[in-house]
Amino acid sequence: MIKIINCKNNINKLTNFLESRRTEKNNNLEIVNKIIQDIKKNKLKALLNYEKKFSKNKEIKLSTDRVNKSIKKLDPKVKKAIDYAYSRIWKFHLKQIKGLREKIVYFDKFKNKLEYRSVPIESVGIYVPGNLPSTLLMNSIPAKIAGVKKIILATPKINGKLNPAVLYAAKKMGIKEIYSMGGAQAIASFAYIQKVNKVIGPGNKYVAEAKRQLSGKIIGTETMYAGASEICVLADNKTDVNQIITSIVSQAEHDPDSQCILITKDKKIINKVKTGITKILKTLPRKKIATTSLKKNGLIIIVKNDKQILNVINEIAPEHLEINVKNYKKYDKKIFNVGSICNGRYTPMSVSDYTVGTNHVLPTSGSSKFSSGLNINEFIKKISVVTLSKLGVEKIGNPAITLSEFEQLYGHAQSIKSRMRRN
């Protein structure tokens, strides 16, 4: 079921496999573009048509009464768990705000004033798959702490029903504008109907493609690529095999496109892991999804030494990394390309998805090489403010004129000259 790649001699085979996975042909371009253009032109009428077509949904904007009625059905135990997760996620993300709102003010010797201000994005649309209240918390809490004034929620119905846990989490966050909509049409609606400044939140391949097509043109999106879930597990001959198996399966059940990777120097555990996975899949409710994921993207990577372990992990740049070895400290500070690290035998990645406090919206598909997981900075803009003095423009203007004329931008030069006394 799971592919085995031996990287002892070189990692070219691994690199080629990762490259082929990340450059799969996207067959959703035209479908998504059609939806976007239709909603751009026909607005609510088009949105309603797509919701009826894909979800048999006739109700888009949810009233407060409708939300409250749904919440009443929620198990108190689930409410309590959401409250607990909320408190820990809020506490951790609140610490990120320290120093972030401080503005930089600098006066040079010519009395020119240079400022660098931090301001929150004004409006954000959060997309939450229909059954994931934890994702709502992960996306909305940093936005709220950052100072975003308007947060709008889009969440699709599952089997024709709203998820009361998602709505409870939304109410707890003070989100009043809630829409029952999903897919590419929800992202297009955020852009052309609700007209938010930025859209965040995970979704299926159609949601991801819609965000890609609209990003930088109409709306902003996350600076990372948040695609199908990924996990790498680093294990040795002392690792509890059952922990390896359960961690791998926990991610495989997310999505058929999820990727689960075991990295080890110990060949003896491979058969035990493969046998254990086959066994646990028999009783897993999401067996079909997990099986597809493991057949398509599952890997066991054999390495020869610690240096190669580090090279392989940094090349993969996984979303999640479990370092399930006794001496994890010799690895974690040498790993630079990863979304989140879970150290030691008692730190399953799954708990970080819910109640640890760190964010579970993380970079995938190798994008941890250049981006971070969701954080307060995602909702803060930086603005430069310049106030030149009469003396200041005289002193710094001439070299600016020289550079603009060198670049053949003579209008720039004229604009500067018009502010200078010699003209």
Q: 314-323: per-residue pLDDT in tens?
A: 999 999 999 9
What confidence tens digit (pLDDT) does each residue in 57-77 have? Answer: 888 999 999 999 999 999 999
Residue 111 lies in a domain: no
Residue 419 lies in a domain: yes
- Number of domain units in the chain: 3
Residue 10 lies in a domain: no
Helix axes 241-252, 270-281, angle to 10 degrees: 50
pLDDT cut 90: percent of the chain above it: 81
Residues designated catalytic: 319-320
Domain match, 305 and 267 both? yes
Domain match, 218 and 233 both? no
Residue 380 lies in a domain: no
Domain match, 287 and 352 both? yes
Domain match, 53 and 156 both? yes
- Residue 25 tokens, joined: 């042909």
- Residue 218 tokens, joined: 């109409």
What confidence tens digit (pLDDT) does each residue in 129-163 have? Answer: 878 999 999 999 999 999 999 999 999 998 888 89
- Strand-pairing partners, residue 51, are none
Domain match, 271 and 208 both? no
What confidence tens digit (pLDDT) does each residue in 171-216 have? Answer: 999 999 999 999 999 999 999 999 999 999 988 889 989 999 999 8
Structural domain harbouring 134: 29-101+122-223
Domain match, 210 and 240 both? no
Say how far apart CA 121 and CA 118 lie, in whole Å: 10
Residue 54 lies in a domain: yes
Say how far apart CA 138 and CA 146 lie, in whole Å: 13
Q: Which of 328, 358, 357 is closest to 340 using CA atoms?
A: 358
Task: Provide the pLDDT confidence category of residue 423 given band limits of 50, 70 and 90.
Answer: very low
Q: What is the pLDDT of residue 313?
A: 96
Domain match, 397 and 423 both? yes
Domain match, 212 and 238 both? no
Q: Is the pLDDT of residue 21 over 80?
A: no
- Residue 89 tokens, joined: 């996620």
Task: Provide the pLDDT confidence category of residue 8 given band limits of 50, 70 and 90.
Answer: confident
Residue 409 lies in a domain: yes
| Residue 270: other Cβ atoms inside 10 A | 15
CATH of the domain at 268: 3.40.50.1980
Residue 14 lies in a domain: no
Residue 274 lies in a domain: yes
Domain match, 202 and 250 both? no
Residues whose CB falls within 8 Å of the CB of residue 232, separated by 6 or more in sequence, listed in order: 261, 262, 263, 313, 316, 318, 320, 321, 322
Domain match, 172 and 253 both? no
